[in-house]
Amino acid sequence: MTTPFDRLGARKRAAGAEDRLPPGQYVPRGWPVLHYGPVPAFKPDAWDLKVFGETASGEVTRWTWPEFGHLPRATVEADFHCVTKFSVLGNTWRGVSTQTLLGLAPPSAATTHVLVWAEYGYSANMTLEDFSSADALLVTHRDGEPLTADHGAPLRLVVPHLYAWKGPKWVRGVEYLTEDRRGFWEERGYHNRADPWREQRYSYQEDPGDGPA
Ligand SMILES: Nc1nc2c(c(=O)[nH]1)N[C@H]1C(S)=C(S)[C@@H](COP(=O)(O)O)O[C@H]1N2
Ligand SMILES: [Mo]
């Protein structure tokens, strides 16, 4: 069944699609599911989100699922680019902005990078600047619907201006770092910076300074 919301979504996704596609990308049907390993079960009682590492206070900040539910929400309209070349256009993401998280659990002045941790040890690294982008969101909903388990429920990161592997599904932690450290795919041959507009797909394309050895 096509709802009015779907029709709105389709139009929104099609508008200006040519100039919105980074080099080498195509628009697939629907929203593919892609990840390494199994889909974790969400256990609300056991779930928490921890901010740790080089925090300003030296303390760990921890939210349970009910506590996280009280944080202010934000909405971001953005495209989603996977390094395997599909791009899902015109998503309406809803969640808690990384700027809100940074405000509630500030990093030390020496923090330059962030590792975002997910269930089963998946991680993605980025500069503090990329993480604190105004469009970066810890997402709970897309196009008005809660995320499904395979798309990262209850919580995933979306950083629209980087390839989508920089957005862990099933997020559980944010670690502040004073030097860069590669995450899961960045250790396995993918580009440390991952800007889709520069087609920064693989680590062999890195320039000196793009990442740690
Ligand atoms: N925990 C976790 N998050 C992950 C991945 C993963 O393997 N594990 N894969 C990433 C990759 S490569 C992509 S393209 C997106 C895919 O998100 P989707 O399945 O919702 O489309 O999730 C990212 N987040
Ligand atoms: Mo991806």
Domain ranges of the chain: 4-29+43-205
Nearest atom (ligand 1) to Cα of 88: 21
pTM: 0.94
Percent of the chain whose predicted confidence (pLDDT) is above 70: 93
Please list the ranges in the chain whose pLDDT falls under 50: 1-4
Separation CA 66–CA 64 (nearest Å): 6
pLDDT value at position 18?
73
Give the pLDDT confidence of 109-138 residue by residue, as tens digits: 999 999 999 999 999 999 999 999 999 999
| Predicted pLDDT of residue 4 | 47
Residue of 34, 88, 117, 122 to mutate, ligand 1, most atoms within 8 A of C-beta:
34
Summarised one tens digit per residue, pLDDT across range 54-67 is 999 999 999 999 99
What is the CATH code of the structural domain delimited by 4-29+43-205?
3.90.420.10
